[in-house]
Copies of this chain bind each other. A is one copy, B any other.
Amino acid sequence: MSGRRRVTLRDVADRAGVSFKTVSRVVNGEAGVSPELVLRVRMAVDELGYRLDPRASGLRRLDRRTRTIAVVLEDLANPFSSELHRAVVDTARDRDVLVLSASSNEDPADERAAVQAFLARHVDGVILMPTSADHSWFQREIEGGTQVVTVDRPARGVHADAVVCDNRGGATRATAHLLRRGHRRIAFLGDQHTIYTAGERLTGFRDALADAGLDPGSAPIRLDLRDSASAEAAVIDILAGPDPPTGIFAGQNLLTIGAMRALRRLGLERQVALVGFDDVVLADLLDPGVTVVAQDPRRMGAEAATLLLSRIDGADSPPALHTVPTRLIPRGSGEIRPHG
């Protein structure tokens, strides 16, 4: 292959007939070089196709930044994560910072391996969607100087900024939306109860019922539903039981889809109301359209990146929980009124 040696500052200096420090000044945009020399150096750089080596340059720099951050999300291919990821990348690019990324697959071991691979590369900071396990091992890294911001949920055992959506408020609003239309018996479908968001959404659901003078204890609540199939089964089961609900609040994306499938199968999609947490693609093309509480992953990503970058730049306010608002989007399924 191309046997030609790597082009260094010195080569450029020789070609331009200046000292190599002058070249360094020019390529770093430092002031105080005569326009004539700047020009000569620039030409030599172009002719030789020279590019500053960021490793060598970072090595001696006082500010030992790599201008790189890392993002570890559950699944980079998931729409929520990929939107968030994109926002992080765009925000970082505006500040000339590059982004490395990985999926944790909701597996603490994968997550830790990914984070450690990134720390080994000396990234300036990490944006992490933490798995449900304990993260105190992480605390040590933070003390080592790497900045951390968690997204979607806070990490237990870590004193760091967290950017989350308004899970509780969104769930309350979704439930109130159903209550306002006359529903008195509303079912809740929830994710694994150990997950932070699942817990918050359940709390929001209960709050809304209590506010309406209903007993949250008597509502049909199904937790630990891991996928759309189990949500589908749960809905079919609940509706077959005594005193079936007239409305359903699905606490997560896949559960909403499962609930929809169940209602379709039972032919009840126009009888039983449904509101889901987290938006669903093409929800508006379904019939009826699916009413959801939408998160704003774009904004969450942008906020997390902005926070992280400002910490990297030295901001040192105490870590806080940052809540991004949700938005209720009525599309039909949530506006169905109770029958009978």
What is the interface of chain A, defined by CB distance below 8 A to chain B? 1-2, 6, 49, 51-56, 58-59, 64, 66, 68, 75-79, 81-83, 85-86, 89-90, 93, 96, 98-103, 114, 117-122, 140, 143-145, 257, 260-261, 264, 280-282, 285-287, 314, 316
Determine if A1 and B316 form an interchain contact, defined as CB atoms under 8 angstroms apart. Answer: yes
Shortest CB–CB separation between residue A150 and chain B, in angstroms?
20
Beta-carbon contact of B144 and A2 below 8 Å: yes
A51 touches B257 (CB 8 A): no
**Closest B residue, CB atoms, query A117:** B98
Chain B neighbourhood of A89, CB < 8 A: 76, 101-103
Question: How many copies are assembled?
Answer: 2
Choose among A51, A64, A83, A119 the residue with the greatest number of B CB atoms under 10 Å from its CB: A51
Q: Are A86 and B76 in touch, CB under 8 angstroms?
A: yes
Given contacts A99-B101, A120-B54, contact A75 B64 (CB under 8 A): no
In the complex, A316 Cα to B114 Cα: how many Å?
31
With contact pairs A143-B2, A285-B260, A316-B1 given, residues A55 and B86 touching in the complex (Cβ less than 8 Å): no
Tell whether, in the assembled complex, residue B55 and residue A55 are in contact, meaning their CB atoms are under 8 Å apart: yes
In the bound complex, do residue A55 and residue B122 qualify as a contact, i.e. CB atoms below 8 Å apart?
Answer: yes
> Is there contact, CB below 8 Å, between A140 and B49?
yes
Interface contact A118-B102, CB-CB below 8 Å: no
Judging by beta carbons under 8 Å apart, are B103 and A100 in contact?
Answer: no
* Contact sample, A vs B, 5 pairs, CB 8 Å cutoff: A2-B144, A49-B140, A54-B55, A55-B66, A282-B282
Contact status B83-A1, CB under 8 Å: no
Q: Known contacts A120-B51, A285-B260; is A75 also within 8 Å of B79 by CB?
A: no
A48 smallest CB distance to B (angstroms): 11
Distance in angstroms between the alpha carbons of A285 and B102 in the assembled complex: 31
Q: Determine the distance from Cα of A78 to Cα of B86 in the docked complex, in whole angstroms.
A: 9
CA–CA, A89 to B73, complex, Å? Answer: 12
> Complex formed: what's the CA distance from A282 to B256 in Å?
12
For A100, list chain B residues within 8 Å (CB): 68, 98-100
- Known interface pairs A86-B75, A122-B53; A64-B281 also in contact (CB < 8 Å): no
CB distance from A248 to the nearest CB of B (A): 16
| Residues of chain B contacted by A101 (CB below 8 angstroms) | 89, 99, 101
Partner of A286, one of B54, B85, B143, B286: B286
User: Within the assembled complex, what's the spacing in Å between the Cα atoms of A281 and B118?
Assistant: 32
Identify 6 new A-B residue pairs, CB closer than 8 A, beyond the known A1-B314, A54-B121: A51-B119, A54-B122, A76-B82, A77-B83, A79-B82, A99-B100
